[in-house]
Amino acid sequence: MALSESVAGTNEQTSLIHQVTRLQNNESNRIRSNVDIANRSHNLNNAILRLDQYALGTRVVRGPEWKWQKQDGGEGHVGTVQSIENNDKVSVVWDYGQSANYRCQTHYDLRILDNSAT
Domain ranges of the chain: 10-52, 55-112
Q: Tell me which residue of 58, 46, 66, 47 sits closest to 90, measured CA to CA.
A: 58
8 vs 116, which has greater pLDDT? 116
Q: Tell me which residue of 118, 32, 115, 31 sits closest to 76, measured CA to CA.
A: 115
Q: Which fold has domain 55-112?
A: SH3 type barrels. (2.30.30)
Minimum mean pLDDT range among 13-17, 46-50, 59-63, 70-74: 13-17
pTM for the model: 0.56
What is the identity of the amino acid at 79? G
11 vs 91, which has greater pLDDT? 91
The mean of the pLDDT values for the chain is 66
Q: What is the pLDDT of residue 87?
A: 73
Q: What is the pLDDT of residue 44?
A: 44
